[in-house]
Amino acid sequence: MTDPIFKDIDAPHFAAHESTDEIARSAEAIVNPASGLANDYLNLFNEIVMLIEQLPVMPELIDDILKWRPVTYQSYFAKSILPGRTSALEAYENLDLAFRRDFETVVADLDRRAVGSVVAIRRQYKKQVNITSPMMAEICERAGAALREVLLTASDFVNNGHRAERESEQERADRLIYGNLRRVG
């Protein structure tokens, strides 16, 4: 294959019936054109959230949680076997510097929260407290909610090419009240 888009494709990972065009489309689809970012990176964080949230009912997940470590966007795709990983890295290098810095700030927040969650779980686990205890369930519930909050922001960056503004509760109440008043008046 001489097309540069195929330089990072490991052919044995694809079924024999997949055409070169299908592989090329898969490689191109990894990067969201709205942002220049690949959503696959967020799977790293989605995975730890799911592990944490399931821990109280699936104690066998503890080892996977305790092994979790943050990985940079670049490292994630450098080690990836996904078609388009090179395209994802090239697009990342070409991002607007301010946008990339904003995205990296959100990722740093995700990293801090995820590592903090793992540390809290490890501390509770070392206390020899049953993993299915109410205290562990509370830790996992709070950790999952905190991570999901930041994951929404990260998803906005990837899917929309910007950080979507979140409406505060007061702004929503004002919009609903004043919107209803305009219809009545």
Place of tokens 């330089």: 7
> Rounded to whole angstroms, how far apart are CA atoms 34 and 156?
10
More reliable by pLDDT, 77 or 21: 77
Joined together, the tokens standing for residue 88 give: 């994802």
Over residues 23-27, mean pLDDT: 48
Joined together, the tokens standing for residue 104 give: 């990296």
CA triple 48-52-55, angle to 5 deg? 135
Confidence at residue 125, expressed as pLDDT on a 0 to 100 scale: 92
Confidence at residue 21, expressed as pLDDT on a 0 to 100 scale: 55
Confidence at residue 7, expressed as pLDDT on a 0 to 100 scale: 40
Confidence at residue 169, expressed as pLDDT on a 0 to 100 scale: 66
> Rounded to whole angstroms, how far apart are CA atoms 9 and 24?
9
Joined together, the tokens standing for residue 169 give: 């509760």
Stretch (H or E) spanning 43: helix 43-54
Per-residue model confidence as pLDDT tens digits over 89-131: 999 999 999 999 999 999 999 999 999 999 999 999 988 667 8
Over residues 141-157, mean pLDDT: 95
Over residues 76-81, mean pLDDT: 94
Handedness of CA 4, 28, 152, 142 (dihedral sign): negative
From residue 157, alpha-carbon distances to 110, 131, 135, 145 in Å are 13, 35, 34, 19
> Rounded to whole angstroms, how far apart are CA atoms 56 and 106?
27
